[in-house]
Structure 1
Amino acid sequence: MTVVMTGATGFLGVRLVGLMLEGGQSVTTLVRGGRAPAGERVAGALRALGAPAPLVAAARQGVRGVEVDLGRADLGLPAREFTALAQAADSIWHVAGHVGLAASQRSANSTNLTGTRHLLQLAAAAPAGTPVHHVSTAFVAGKRHTGTIAESDLDGSHGFVNFYEQSKYEAERHVHDWAARHRARVVIHRPSLLVTDRPPAAGAPGHTLLDMAAAYGRPLRDAAPRRARPWSGCRGGRTAGRTCCRWTPPPG
């Protein structure tokens, strides 16, 4: 089974790749050009996260990278390559995103909205019934902070704190409209802040909380347990706007 994924070298993406490789799936990751091979980058990030050696080796050997441009129609690929990529997909995961809380509207939209539209072109060319997973955010509700928010309540009328939230909301609306038109299978995931209880490691992807700490000039306290179980992927974590990809301390 082949998973086509954007954002495979990010904080969430690399953990998802690890779980997929453990499940025997192959991963084709869509990457920007001019960087190290995708398999090496994913393997390096997994190693920094404490993943077992066989999983690191599986990433190095089994993760295939395709250089694309999310800002261009058909991902900037020649027609033949675009079609072959789409037809090889058993599922499509759109994990990449611009998470900068101070991003300009143009910058946020370029990745989060335009990139989503172009990835859905790939999904439309995939075999009928190919599931699409779109990683959004719990903050698509914008400035509405209280009460139970139903799907039908997401209309943007409360406004947004920043262009990141707005761009993710608009991307979500586009995904909904696209799914209705194509009668496609789409799952929208809305995580909140993604963090880990392990201290930052060289080579490991960062996360928003670290970026916020750097922006405000305040170091984060090391809240990690003294002994940590090396690799647990997303097991034991909780989604639905709570915590995902948490590290689990050993018993006792």
Structure 2
Amino acid sequence: MIQPVRELRNFAAAALVEPVPRDHSEPDAAFRRRRVVTAVTLLVGSLVLGGTLRIPPGDDLFYLGGLALAAVWIAGGLAAGQLHVGWAHTRGEGFARPVVQPLALAALAVAVFTAGAVVVGQVDWLAGPINNVLDHARYGSLALVWAITVINGIGEELFFRGALFAAVGRRHPITVTTVVYALATLATGNLMLAFAALVLGVLTGAQRRVTGGVLAPIITHVIWSTAMLLLLPLVLDLVR
């Protein structure tokens, strides 16, 4: 019993606590420019996000809005300054690109959110906001909604855990980026989405701090959002 506990503790430390060594310092002028670009992108992205999720399910404008939103996050994330892929601890003394750890964390997040949906689905005022978002897949093209979900997941990580995380600096970047991410999501008027953004923001923010890059957050976000899109409608229908 001790060995599994030790393995779990070591995994958590490597994936979420102990940063890999790196030096991502940049000149003051580049740092100031990054902050200006991220501020403008955040304002525009929040407005586009709020407008997109207010489009009625089944309306083809939702697809255009989703693609526009992804374009804002991706363009802003890349334009703000250099982004890094990141490295992860291995069992030895070396480092590798972060793939296995974010996959495992994504699976854990999916399990937690799915279990939570069983409870939430039995409370109408909590399930309602979730169903409002899922209705875009129920009454539209699931394939297109999934593609937009994936592209936006990548874009959000490039911006929030990439450009914005670097623009915050060394003082509480996980807290600041998570709160900003949740507030931007709150522009949709959907409290359940904002709550999900808080939880996901902490998880991906910790990965960003440890790995020094955006690959791990992207993998976790894409796997989580894909699973939520496919699993939540089934879970909510079962408990309804």
Q: What TM-score results when the alignment is normalised by the length of structure 1?
A: 0.26
Q: Which one has a larger percent helix, Structure 1 or Structure 2?
A: 2
**TM-score normalised by L of structure 2:** 0.27
Please identify which structure carries the higher strand content. Answer: 1
